[in-house]
Chains A and B, each alone.
Chain A
Amino acid sequence: MAAAAPGGRSFSFKVVLLGEGCVGKTSLVLRYCENKFNDKHITTLQASFLTKKLNIGGKRVNLAIWDTAGQERFHALGPIYYRDSNGAILVYDITDEDSFQKVKNWVKELRKMLGNEICLCIVGNKIDLEKERHVSVQEAETYAESVGAKHYHTSAKQNKGIEELFLDLCKRMIETAQVDERARGNGSSQSGTARRGVQIIDDEPQVQSSGGCCSSG
């Protein structure tokens, strides 16, 4: 199991997208998966569940991005969504102090429910509106560090920082998965792997257009 040929590994990760309504969660994923922003020509029917295939250093990664309903009334449903997820992207609007407070709530909850196994990304979106900033960079970054999360600045409108965000997250999730695997003992992947959400599959390398393509459905 450990001696898999390079390129023969594939990971499946589940990433949840959390954040208040109107912070631009949907725009963020649409930009990432379709490279479009507020476009009338967006082909996808929905932006709530998107997948993306990546190739990072010979490791194939299947990313499933789960959007969550951000309205306050659905807050209590969070745990149902983020169960078994490998990563979480917590989005706030840099012009909206409240949305940052919300992120703090989510972080607390996630850490409580999933511990340190989940990779957290705190994302300040809408940096094209820098002039109207209400959440200071310093504050956000300090906070992120204090909870073991990484902080990113993005603009879905100008397509800034998004690629980096997802790539970085994937790398971190791979690391976590590998550490996890090693901790569980070499090779004897008894029950647990599939059910915990990370599927590590050894297989022959197959021809498949990897990276960049997005398919849902």
Chain B
Amino acid sequence: MSLKSERRGIHVDQSELLCKKGCGYYGNPAWQGFCSKCWREEYHKARQKQIQEDWELAERLQREEEEAFASSHSTQGAQSLTFSKFEEKKTNEKTRKVTTVKKFFSASSRTGAKKVAQEKNLKQGQLGRERNADNILRDLKEIFTPSWELASPTEEIQEAKAPSPSINRQASIETDRVSKEFIEFLKTYHKPGQDIYKQCKMFLEAMHHKRELSIEEQSECAQDFYQNVAEKLQTRWKVSPERVEKAMDQIEKYIMTRLYKYVFCPETTDDEKKDLVVQRRIRALHWVTPQMLCVPVNEEIPEVSDMVVKAITDIIEMDSKRVPRDKLACITKCSKHIFNAIKITKNEPASADDFLPTLIYIVLKGNPPRLQSNIQYITRFCNPSRLMTGEDGYYFTNLCCAVAFIEKLDAQSLNLSQEDFDRYMSGQTSPKKQESENWSPDVCLGVKQMYKNLDLLSQLNERQERIVSEAKKLERDLIDWTDGITKEVQDIVEKYPLEIKPKNQALAAIDSENVENDKLPPPLQPQVYAG
């Protein structure tokens, strides 16, 4: 397609006269080569886009201004000066990069938007390298590609959480807050701080291009980054180990807040499927009692049940955190509550023999959301030194153990017979029903009452059934009885049939024969004598 200069009008080919959208009508250079109808459509879309973009830009500018204002206020003198300069330089750099990166984007065809990309390339070809068509090209690209794909890297990174401001407003605010804090924090590190900032930016940009790699490769990159930065801080900047650790925490927070969305439970893995499997598994195991797991926690003590509830809350809360370290902190908090519960019950420090079963029990009761995803995410993107030897690492390992145990749990591991286990799993019976008499440990009052009422109801039901069956029996008896009587009567009637014998007449005849009766004197009347 050698469509060079329609505007200069040296070689005007038939095809060039047609509308660029390929609708078959003729285009007009005044409408950027579109026909009137297509032009109006495109123009309208582009305008809308432009308005939205302007709005975003204004918002960002304001934010930056605020930031600059805040930083110039908080620290005065040379330091803040250098820092804002550094910031300025950074922004300049960003703007310079915009064009090249954009080219990169338009060239790469994204899997999700292959069709879009093809269309885009076509448009590009037609528009060629016409300078005056650049604007429309940009507009078009905006129209045909999702905004996040098109954004410059800086926008992308700054608003990694907020492709469109209205949707993810909340996340964007958090991201901004985190980066503000990060910058504030780095100021205390002076020169190395600037270096760290630069490194992080570079890393985030690099990660952006690696989004299509497998999650393991991305994890590898993150781990390498942690290691390189830590090493650099130690060897080049001679920062003390404590401060390195602090800085590493902040770096982790900064980069992971930004990357979270892309690397947590990514579509390329089956993390989500595993989550669902675990969730279903835990639901199926709802009948497991603390006694079966030998949990050394007595929930009848109010303080203990309080601790258990807190532990469950903590482990559920883990999913809401974005930074691996914050997630680990939730696990640690949960573990501390478990230890407290054990300590109150047993009055001695908890060993792993006590702790692991209790943690398993808490996980079973809490059924924390996206358990596998969270574990995978922490394993892949947490600063490794923390996972290796630290206390957080220990509790995290225990959580992994708990999940592994729950996945593989069988009759033997609960000291149950296979038949019992199968029956409980299929939901035919529940161990709770059987021991409802001494049933109380881990239920709130309402549930306890409910179980009692259920018991009562089943008793009543039984009685009712008995009454009904008795009544039926009675009815049957009555029917039988009447039948019996009827039969008996019939038998008797049959046996002794009623015969009207002429004898009766004979008797009358006897009387009638007594003719002289009327001749007899009347019978004596009783007489009263006065005496």
A residues with CB within 8 A of B: 10, 12-14, 17, 21, 25-26, 30, 40, 42, 44-49, 51, 62, 64, 66-71, 73-74, 76-77, 80-81, 83-84, 189, 191, 194-195, 197, 199, 201-204, 206, 216-217
A71 to B401, CA, bound (A): 13
A9 to B401, CA, bound (A): 33
**Could you tell me if A204 and B240 are in contact, using CB atoms closer than 8 angstroms?**
yes
16 A-B contact pairs sorted by A residue (CB < 8 Å): A13-B389, A30-B349, A40-B347, A45-B343, A45-B350, A46-B342, A46-B349, A46-B350, A48-B350, A64-B394, A73-B412, A80-B397, A191-B227, A195-B388, A203-B240, A217-B391
Query: Which chain B residues border A203 with CB–CB below 8 Å?
Result: 234, 240-241
Query: Which chain B residues border A49 with CB–CB below 8 Å?
Result: 391, 394-395
A204 to B238, CA, bound (A): 9
The residue in chain A whose Cβ has the minimal distance to the Cβ of B355 is A48
**Could you tell me if B349 and A45 are in contact, using CB atoms closer than 8 angstroms?**
yes
Contact of A206 among B240, B353, B354, B356 (CB under 8 A): B240
Supposing A70-B353, A194-B230, A203-B241 touch, asked if A45 and B336 sit within 8 A by C-beta, the answer is yes
Query: Which chain A residues border B342 with CB–CB below 8 Å?
Result: 46
| A-B pairs under 8 A by CB, number | 117
Q: In the complex, what's the smallest C-beta–C-beta distance from A106 to chain B, in angstroms?
A: 14
**Could you tell me if A64 and B234 are in contact, using CB atoms closer than 8 angstroms?**
no
**Could you tell me if B234 and A202 are in contact, using CB atoms closer than 8 angstroms?**
yes
The residue in chain B whose Cβ has the minimal distance to the Cβ of A51 is B391
Q: In the complex, what's the smallest C-beta–C-beta distance from B324 to chain A, in angstroms?
A: 15
**Could you tell me if B389 and A197 are in contact, using CB atoms closer than 8 angstroms?**
yes
CB proximity to A under 8 Å, residues B133-190: none
A48 to B339, CA, bound (A): 10
In this assembly, does B405 line the interface, its C-beta being within 8 Å of a C-beta of chain A? Answer: yes
Supposing A46-B355, A195-B384 touch, asked if A64 and B349 sit within 8 A by C-beta, the answer is no
Contact of B350 among A14, A47, A84, A216 (CB under 8 A): A47
- Greatest chain A CB density within 10 A among B352, B353, B400, B405 is at B352
A217 to B388, CA, bound (A): 15
Give the contact-size bracket for chain B: 35 or more
Query: Which chain A residues border B223 with CB–CB below 8 Å?
Result: 191, 195
In this assembly, does B390 line the interface, its C-beta being within 8 Å of a C-beta of chain A? Answer: yes
**Could you tell me if B390 and A64 are in contact, using CB atoms closer than 8 angstroms?**
yes
**Could you tell me if B412 and A81 are in contact, using CB atoms closer than 8 angstroms?**
no
Query: Which chain B residues border A76 with CB–CB below 8 Å?
Result: 404, 408
Q: What would 19 more interface pairs be, CB under 8 Å, given A47-B349, A49-B394, A69-B355?
A: A12-B388, A12-B389, A25-B352, A26-B351, A42-B349, A44-B349, A45-B340, A47-B351, A48-B352, A48-B394, A69-B352, A73-B412, A74-B405, A191-B223, A194-B227, A194-B384, A195-B227, A204-B238, A216-B391
A83 to B395, CA, bound (A): 14
In this assembly, does B482 line the interface, its C-beta being within 8 Å of a C-beta of chain A? Answer: no
Query: Which chain B residues border A204 with CB–CB below 8 Å?
Result: 238, 240
Query: Which chain B residues border A69 with CB–CB below 8 Å?
Result: 352-353, 355-357, 401
Query: Which chain B residues border A189 with CB–CB below 8 Å?
Result: 231
